[in-house]
Structure 1
Amino acid sequence: MAGPTTAEHGAHKPPNTGDGSARSPLGGAPRGRLRVPGPRSLLIALAVALLGAATIWVLYGSPWLRAERVRTTGTDELSEREVEAVAAVPLGTPLISVDTDAIEARLRDKLPRVDSVEATRSWPHGIDLKVTERQPVLLLKKGSNYVEVDAKSVRFATVDPLKAPKRVPVLELAADGSPSLKRFGSDRLVAEAVRVRADVPASVAADTRVIAVRSYDAISLELSGDRTVVWGSSEDGAAKARSLVALMKAAPKARHFDVSAPTAPSVSDS
């Protein structure tokens, strides 16, 4: 069989570019030549590199953006000096390198009164600490002092009676002989008392002096004016609150109220 003709040989030869290099059959750039960046591209790359180096130096090496002050807000019982001592902000270091997460962790771990804290950079020289303190909703008797308990059932501070917050009910745990103590433990019973405290209507909460827990389902309130409320368990708290408000309106001079069964509440004068 005859071989390819001269025309066929020529059909497969890459086109000549005119400068001695062969162009790809697909029409791309000439093969065998490297594309050298032009002066403009080199200048742009150099400017980007210099800008990056300058930014790093300004943030980490210059004296302009360093931590020089700490500002604390939101404290009440805690002092600003106490918070800032525990925060241990490394003054004089680059502001960008200050570990704000570590500062927050130290404050939560070492100051139980801190419920939450937010540490933020305040350019060009500051660290701001926004503190939210725990607020007591109950006072648990401990020896001659009281332990403050917050709305999350966290026992966070011990205070003497003279410094105990006013108008915060005292929690009396009198469940020593109750099976509830063995079954649930004291922490659970404290949590149940906190739930009751949250459900007590505002008009009654102001007069509540003591919340007594004798078992899981035997919780009662002692109010001013020698009045008492049998609450029962912490279940159905909203219904019990409504029943209590209705009873007090219907019998304003009564001294004893029972809302342990909110659908069948009762009231008595003695």
Structure 2
Amino acid sequence: MAGSTGRTKGAERRGRNPAARPPADADSGPAPSGSRGRRERAAARTGSRTRTRARMLRLRALLVLFALALGLAGFGAWALYGSDWVLVERVTVSGEKVLTEKQVRAAAGIPVGTPLLSVDRAAAQHRLKSALPRLDDVRVVRAWPHGIGIEVTERKPELAMKHAGNFVEVDVEGVRFDVVPEQPKGVPLLVMEVEGSAGLRHFGKERLRREAVRAATSLPDSVARDTRTVRLRSYDSITLELTGGRTVLWGSGEQGRAKAESLTALMKATEDARHFDVSVPSAPASSGS
């Protein structure tokens, strides 16, 4: 017994008792060896250097592209503003009837030799309209690489007014836009006898002129060709004086279409009449022979 006890104690001292050992962890794998850890650290360092190099290459490429873009922009600005490649060599005019090309070009003030892109088209249009009231509409365009085109629309005179031995042209909006030495051919004379009238105080001359033009532009073609004078005494008293001593009491400028239709029918029905009244188009009248 004493010997057995001694052997047991000896085994315990030598660490041979199986029950004293801790159980192995079934989920834990074997610890990595030293060489494997070194390989992993080296691979991580290599990957980091590769990523850094790629970022540097991308940054360098972006800087090169940016420098190229700046160079192209500078070259483009020089080509458009500083070189002789895109200068104004000619200024062309279209749409003029009474005005001349020389008048339009002079009023536009666009010198030959100016860089095409630096031409201020809005300013040129403003200069044209200010200097030439006959112009109703103006369009200034670039004709690459060496031209400027000016497209104009002139006002058309619908009536003319005598003034100091000359004639003032009046357009469809009642605007007095030019003074000419002779009455334009085929344009009726506007005579306004409104001084001291209630119509003048209430409406003003500009509005009364528009009413006269409104009446003149509503006439049937056959009557318009024979109209020599549009006489206005008040807003609702406009009389047309035709060839052959004929007259038409038109009234106001309102209901122009109805009055034109009524006048056409009335003239056909009473060919020998000399005086016509369509101021009330639903009840026209004629007289004289």
Structure-1-length-normalised TM-score: 0.85
- Computed over aligned residues only, the root mean square deviation of the Cα atoms, in angstroms, reads 2.5
Q: Answer yes or no: is the 8 Å Cα contact 1:90–1:98 preserved in 2.
A: no
Letter in structure 2 aligned against 1:101? A
Q: Secondary structure at the match of 1:167?
A: coil
Distance 1:42 1:33, change over 3 A: closer
Counterpart code for 2:226: D
Cα distance change on mapping 1:242 and 1:37 into 2, 3 Å: farther
The answer to whether residue 246 in structure 2 is matched with residue 227 in structure 1 is: yes
Deviations 1:169-192 (A, max 9, x none): 000001124211111111111111
- For residues 235 and 158 of structure 1, the distance between their equivalents in structure 2, rounded to whole angstroms, comes to 29
Question: Aligned with 1:96: secondary structure?
Answer: helix
Q: Which amino acid aligns with 1:158?
A: V
Q: Supply the AA of the counterpart residue of 2:115.
A: P
Aligned match for 1:253, one of 249, 255, 272? 272
Cα distance change on mapping 1:34 and 1:247 into 2, 3 Å: same
Match of 2:209 in 1: 190
Residues 114-125 of structure 1: pairs in structure 2 closer than 5 A: 114-125=135-146
Q: Which runs of 5+ in 1 are unaligned?
A: 1-15, 24-29
**Higher alpha-carbon deviation: 195-204 or 254-263:** 195-204
Alignment pair present for 1:175 and 2:194 = yes
Hey, what does 2:74 align to over in structure 1? 53
SS of the aligned residue for 2:228 comes to strand
**Which has the larger helix fraction?**
2
1:35 corresponds to which residue?
Answer: 55
Partner amino acid, structure 2, of 1:35: R
Distance 1:72 1:59 in 2: 24
Partner of 2:44: 19
The answer as to 2:149 corresponding to 1:154 is no
The aligned residue for residue 212 of structure 1 is 231
Distance in structure 2 (CA, Å) of the matches to 1:65 and 1:93? 9
Aligned mates of 1:33, 1:51 — CA distance in 2: 29
Query: 4+ residue runs of structure 1 moved beyond 6 angstroms?
Result: none
Question: Aligned residue pairs: how many?
Answer: 249
Instruction: Please name the residue that 1:113 is paired with.
Output: 134
Match of 1:145 in 2: 166
Q: Mean Cα displacement is larger for which, 148-157 or 71-80?
A: 71-80
Q: Does 1:103 align with 2:128?
A: no
Q: Distance in 2 between matches of 1:138 and 1:147?
A: 8
User: Matches of 2:265 and 2:216 in 1, distance apart?
Assistant: 18
In 1, the alpha carbon distance for the partners of 2:64 and 2:206 equals 69
Q: CA deviation at 1:34?
A: 9.1
Tell me by how many angstroms 1:53 deviates.
2.2
Kindly indicate whether residue 81 of structure 2 is the aligned counterpart of residue 81 of structure 1. Answer: no
For structure 2, which runs of at least 5 residues remain unmatched after alignment?
1-40
- Aligned CA distance change for structure 1 residues 91 and 250 (closer, same or farther; 3 Å): same
Q: CA offset at residue 20 of structure 1?
A: 4.5
- In structure 2, the CA distance between the partners of 1:139 and 1:17, relative to structure 1 (3 Å rule), is farther
- SS for the counterpart of 2:44 is coil
TM-score, structure 2 as length reference = 0.79
Helix, strand or coil at the partner of 1:91: coil
